[in-house]
Amino acid sequence: MGSVCFIVDAMVTGNMLPRHLKSIRDSGVADHLLPILVTSTQAHARLSSIEQRYHTHCLITPKLPLGARLNKAAFASQAEWLIIALQKQPLPASLWGSLYPQLNTYNLDALIVGLAQPSLAKRILRRLLASTLLLPPYIAVRRAWLERLGGFDPELDDASAIDDFLQRLHDCPTRLKTYSGRLLSQAAEHTSAMLPNDPDLAYTSKR
C-alpha cells in the first residue's frame, strides 16, 4: 500500500467524529502506518481524549475556514495519498480494508469513496433540479494532484469549500473513479459510456 494519511475535520464530522476514527482504526492496518490528522478551530477536552484513544494528531487552527484547515493538514502530511472526510456519516471499516490495495496504482489521481451511484431516473432528475454536487463520504486524492489543483480554496468555509474543490476536480482532466466496496474495474464499467466530465459522474443534488 502506498503511504496514506487521513484528514478528518471535527466540524465536518461533528458528533460522529469518534465513529469515523474507530472505523479507520478497525480497518486492520497498524496505527503507525496510517496517520490520522484531525482538524478543528478550537481545542477542548473531548479532542484531547479522542487524540489519545485513536492515536491521532490534532491540528487546531482558530478562525481558519474549512478550506484553509484542510490545506494546512495536507501540507503537514507527507503521505502519497490523502483520504479526506467530506460529510458527517462514517463508512464501515470493511470498506477501508478493501480500499487500500486499490491505491497501489499510477493510473489514478483521485477516488470518490463510498458514494453509491443513483439510478438513471434519479440522475436525470438531479441534472434537471440540481445546482451543486452531492458530497461523497470521503475522497482519496493523490498529493501531487491536490497540489496541481491548488488545494482547497482557503477563503471558503463549510460545504462551499468542498463543493468548489469537487467542481474543480471534475472540470480538470482528473483520472477519477468511484469505489463503494466493489473493484475499481467494476465501478469503471458502470460509467464507461459517459464522457470524462459528464455531469452524471458528479452526481448532482439540490441542497
pLDDT digits (tens, 9 = 90+) for 100-158: 999 999 999 999 998 766 556 655 665 665 544 567 899 999 999 999 999 999 999 99
pLDDT of residue 137: 94
User: Cell 497540489 belongs to which residue?
Assistant: 147
Kindly state the helix (H) or strand (E) to which residue 189 belongs, with its residue range.
helix 184-190
Listed as ranges, residues in the chain with pLDDT below 70 are 1, 116-134, 182-207
Q: With contact defined as beta carbons under 8 Å apart, do 103 and 27 qualify?
A: no
Query: How many Cα atoms are found within 13 Å in the side-chain-facing hemisphere of 50?
Result: 25
CATH of 4-205 among 3.90.550.10, 3.30.1330.10, 3.30.420.40, 3.40.50.720: 3.90.550.10
CB 40 within 8 A of CB 58: yes
